[in-house]
Amino acid sequence: MARSDFPLISDHDASALAGLLGRRSLLGTGGALLAAPLFAPGHAFAQQAGAPGAAEITVDQARSEPIPIAIPSFGPGLGEQITRVITDDLNNCGLFRVLPASPAAATPDFSTYKAMGARALVSGTTAGEGNVRVEMRLWNVLSGTQLQGTAYTTNGANWRRIAHIIADVIYERMLGEKGYFDTRIAYIARTGSRARQTTRLAVMDQDGANTRILTGGEWLTLTPRFNPVRDQIAFMSYADNRPRVYLFDLGSGRQQMLGEFSGISFAPRFSPDGRSVVLSATRGAGSDIYIVDLASRAKRQITNSGAIDTSPSFSPDGSQIVFNSDRGGSPQLYVMSAGGGGARRISYGNGQYGSPVWSPRGDLIAFTRIANGGFSLGVMSPDGSGERIMTEGFTVESPTFCPNGRVIAFCRQTRAGAGGAGFASSVATVDVTGFHEHVVPTSTGASDPAWSPLNG
């Protein structure tokens, strides 16, 4: 399968407001990736990468008992680096247990891997320097059959992305749903003490590699959001001491303000088709929700409650919006039509709710809850039923779903030791069941994560 269209280059909103009131550029090297099917010795046909196939095991089974999978090195040098990235991707999701192994023969000795306890085997080779060819084969150890075989050819500078794509292929073939490793996370890089903190818009691979700092840090910057179909990030900046929503073009590095409002604009999120942005804008002591068309910049107001309406997020089909409002006396979650009107409250637990975001699957809404002096991060169904808390802490906020809806990234803030900055802020991920929390390594403090769609 030729994939020349697959370029390889490389709320707390409410609290911020309270203080005020009283298809993706990859930012790296160029080059196209070609993927071709491989045929296994002794087998008539090998599936192409991304082709549908029956899952080898369910996600629920993998949560209770991670899949043991052997991954011998893809070769010295670059091959070893590719192997390490694949291994880390699979281990970090918590659904696989990677077993190191000696290099496999063209037709592996499956009895060796059975003795290790492996259920699956990934064998591969790497060749070339300027242009690199990486071959991978995925085997069912128990049956001794090849499940997948693909060769990738691209510029060698893109080796990390090849590794993420291979990890996605393994994830999909073993679990029956799309992976999420070939993605990025936008976030706010934080340096300095809490009293004099510098904030910069940044983007990184989902595993913390390939960090790019996008803005200079002259102004407070918050809440980045990826456009699902264009090379854009929306975010809030205090540039020139006028807090507004801006658009950042990942291809050119240019940024521009999104619309003129009489008050402050903040809390942006894109529509599922990427053609508009829903955001909040202050008016008097409250704020209303607007939808801004990106082509015409026409604004349409969809709430007028006199309260603080903020943190809007579209449902995946674009028909509804979940948002946070204190119209009932305390911050709670509401769902309304994307056209405005018909708002109904969905949060009824103890405490104050904020930062809602709709899952790409449409089945869950993630949120932050503040109760009894602490923060918690949870999910509920769009009708408010089935509320579950996944993690708690000094501060946990800003949830964002990965593209397949299985994992949530969020900001965790902890108290730092005496003499330090006072607080330490990091990006972490957790399965939607509350399983396998994992910190994403960053070179600075990090907050406000926003997961990209799958790179393409």
Instruction: Collapse the DSSP code of 139 into the 3-class scheme (helix H, G, I; strand E, B; otherwise coil) and give the result.
Output: strand
Dist CA 372 CA 366 (whole Å): 20
Are 210 and 330 members of one domain?
yes
Q: Is 393 part of any domain?
A: yes
Are 310 and 246 members of one domain?
yes
Q: Is 138 part of any domain?
A: yes
Dist CA 332 CA 323 (whole Å): 8
First to last CA, the chain: 15
Are 202 and 310 members of one domain?
yes
Last residue of a domain, one of 130, 152, 175: 175
Residue 1 · residue 152 · CB < 8 Å: no
CATH number for the domain harbouring residue 143: 3.40.50.10070
Are 164 and 199 members of one domain?
no
**CA angle (249 as vertex; 243, 251 as ends), nearest 5:** 155
Residue 293 burial (CB < 10 Å; 0-12/13-18/19+)? middle
Look at residue 25 in the predicted model and tell me its pLDDT. 28
**CA angle (89 as vertex; 438, 135 as ends), nearest 5:** 175
Are 367 and 251 members of one domain?
yes
Q: Mind listing the pLDDT tens digit of every residue in the chain (456 residues)?
A: 222 222 222 244 444 444 444 422 222 333 466 767 665 443 333 334 434 456 888 999 999 999 999 999 999 999 999 999 999 999 999 999 999 888 777 789 999 999 999 999 999 999 988 899 999 999 999 999 999 999 999 898 999 999 999 999 999 999 999 999 999 999 999 999 877 899 999 999 999 999 999 999 999 999 999 999 998 999 999 999 999 999 999 999 999 999 889 999 999 999 999 999 999 999 999 999 999 999 999 999 999 999 999 999 999 999 999 999 999 999 999 999 999 999 999 999 999 999 999 999 999 999 999 999 899 999 999 999 999 999 999 999 999 999 999 999 999 998 764 344 456 899 999 999 999 999 999 999 999 999 999 885
Q: Count CB neighbours of 188 within 10 A.
A: 28
Are 164 and 193 members of one domain?
no
CATH number for the domain harbouring residue 436: 2.120.10.30
Look at residue 340 in the predicted model and tell me its pLDDT. 95
Are 234 and 336 members of one domain?
yes
Q: Is 324 part of any domain?
A: yes
Are 169 and 91 members of one domain?
yes
Torsion-angle region of residue 308: left (phi > 0), alpha (psi -120 to 50) or beta?
beta
The mean predicted confidence, pLDDT, of the chain is 88
Are 63 and 122 members of one domain?
yes
Q: Is 7 part of any domain?
A: no
Last residue of a domain, one of 175, 196, 217: 175
Are 86 and 226 members of one domain?
no
Are 197 and 54 members of one domain?
no
Torsion-angle region of residue 417: left (phi > 0), alpha (psi -120 to 50) or beta?
beta
- Tell me the per-residue pLDDT of 39-97, one tens digit each, with 9 for 90 and over: 544 333 333 443 445 688 899 999 999 999 999 999 999 999 999 999 999 999 999 99
Last residue of a domain, one of 150, 175, 200: 175
Are 107 and 243 members of one domain?
no
The count of domains in the chain is: 2
Q: Count CB neighbours of 371 within 10 A.
A: 14
Structural domain for 326, as ranges: 183-451
Q: Is 19 part of any domain?
A: no
Model pTM score:
0.89
Dist CA 134 CA 153 (whole Å): 6
Q: Is 236 part of any domain?
A: yes
Q: CA–CA distance from 319 to each of 68, 192, 416 (Å)? A: 41, 42, 43
SS3 sequence of 25-59: CCCCCCCECEEEECCCCCCCCCCCCCCCCCCCCCH
Dist CA 362 CA 325 (whole Å): 21
Q: Is 2 part of any domain?
A: no
Q: Is 285 part of any domain?
A: yes
Instruction: Collapse the DSSP code of 293 into the 3-class scheme (helix H, G, I; strand E, B; otherwise coil) and give the result.
Output: strand
